[in-house]
Structure 1
């Protein structure tokens, strides 16, 4: 994670435009779009459930997409839900962050992805090593951020490819 590329919260931005600015700092001009996303979960009546007819493959394909991006040194924007019932964006995604790296947690025995969280102006918290999404094969991609208090976490709701490719399980959302 290159902390010098972090774009933190400021009043004249929103989390998506700030995430796009972060990608621009990495030299990228394609940020991904709502017309080409991996949808992973959806919210109905305040409850999150897996999206699509084949959720297992949605997760596997989204993880392959994230890995392809990271292998090519391309950070990637993902949408997250942190507070059911907000009714933002497509009705599920409340916030956007930028995945910048990955690792393996030997204690939890799970792979994880590190991310920049622009919900703060603090580089220390926005780029904390504790900003992690843990991946359970074919099942979930979720974690927490150094800025979240009280045990609330982030559930990844969508992955936005930015390499110009159209992936098999991507879809536009409303």
Structure 2
């Protein structure tokens, strides 16, 4: 065992939903991809395809995306955040998305609201931060599956629902 093992700080991960402590800093950020569920992607893809089919007949130029592109989902920034409570315990929390760099400074007293992630091996996810030093509430912003699909494709899917409804009404009416 070398000297670095003797002095390694113990980092706590799974904690209560609210943690209050001093901000120690951001760790190195990386990106993570969010996969979109197969039922959602297929439904949007098929409904938008119906609208694209009608648009092709009417010579409109549809927005085209493959099912594989839809399923891939958006990438978002993951930044591990460390803070230390009054008892000297250090916590690591994952922040998804971004905050303004000037929002938190080393040593600021902060209170974070967290949620566990689907993968139990990952640290809890930071949902909201209140900088108690400046009394500023902060919420990281990340892309959603809906923003990833884009307004054009979603509009086509809505149009596809309307077309499907008209066809169904004509069939049974």
Greater C-alpha Rg: 2
* TM-score normalised by L of structure 1: 0.24
Determine which structure has the larger helix proportion and give its number.
2
